[in-house]
């Protein structure tokens, strides 16, 4: 590997949404950071974190009744 990985270089991005005006905001923060209260830039209401389900990919046989093996 070339460059050494540093924890400070990688920050996950979470998506927050305003329940009042439905504007989404990407907010970058560390995994171990305590979740702060964020507010909408437009109306000032509290932002709620949106949860996303990751993609799933099935490989191989046995997932359909017509599979043989």
pLDDT tens across 16-50, in order?
Answer: 999 999 999 999 888 788 888 999 999 999 999 99
Find the domain containing 28 and state its range: 11-49
More reliable by pLDDT, 39 or 68: 39
pLDDT band at 61 (very low <50, low <70, confident <90, very high): low
Please report the pLDDT score of residue 26 as a whole number. Answer: 93
Output the domain CATH number for residue 42: 2.20.28
Cα 23 to Cα 42: distance, rounded to the nearest angstrom = 8
The verdict on residue 32 lying in a domain is yes
The verdict on residue 15 lying in a domain is yes
The verdict on residue 68 lying in a domain is no
Cα 33 to Cα 30: distance, rounded to the nearest angstrom = 5
pLDDT at 2 over 50: no
Cα–Cα distances (Å) from 36 to 7, 49, 52, in that order, read 20, 11, 19
Please report the pLDDT score of residue 30 as a whole number. Answer: 82
Task: Choose among 65, 29, 67, 69: nearest CA to 49.
Answer: 29
């Amino acid at each position: 590997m070339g460059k050494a990985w540093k924890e400070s270089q990688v920050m996950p991005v979470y998506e927050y949404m305003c329940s009042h005006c439905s504007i989404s905001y990407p907010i970058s923060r560390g995994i171990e950071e305590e979740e702060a209260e964020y507010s909408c830039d437009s109306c000032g209401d509290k932002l709620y974190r949106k949860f996303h389900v990751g993609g799933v990919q099935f490989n191989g046989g046995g997932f359909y009744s017509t599979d043989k093996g």
